[in-house]
Amino acid sequence: MASLTITSTRGDTKTVEGTAGLSVMEIIRKAGFDDLQALCGGSCACATCHVHVHPDDFARVGPANEDEDDLLDSSNERTPTSRLSCQIPFGPALDGLRVTVAKEG
């Protein structure tokens, strides 16, 4: 299994084992990070699963697609490494990925 390091909006950090085939959003929710709302359940219809990918890891994740990019435009917390975690499929190539849950609101 590959690991994912998650930092909450409060600054709490936890490294978890991620399951290949799940989205980063699903792994974050299963790890108990309730500050990631994920209201649409992963259908790329909102931006409540917004995360900031660590800059050193962003090339492995890659940029947002057009629909995701449009949703991220609605966030005041958008950065150059913003992604919707529901749109990041997790697998061995992302072992060690670091993300921070975006502060929304």
Q: What is the mean pLDDT of the chain?
A: 95
pLDDT in tens, 65-89: 999 999 999 999 999 999 999 999 9
DSSP for residue 96: T
Q: Is the pLDDT of residue 14 over 70?
A: yes
pTM across the whole model: 0.95
- pLDDT score recorded for residue 63: 94
- One-letter-per-residue 3-state SS of 19-78: CCCCEHHHHHHHCCCCCCCCCCCCCCCCCCCEEEECCCCHHHHCCCCHHHHHHHCCCCCC
pLDDT (average), residues 22-41: 94
| Domain boundaries defined on the chain | 2-101
Q: Is the pLDDT of residue 49 over 90?
A: yes
Domain topology for 2-101: Ubiquitin-like (UB roll) (3.10.20)
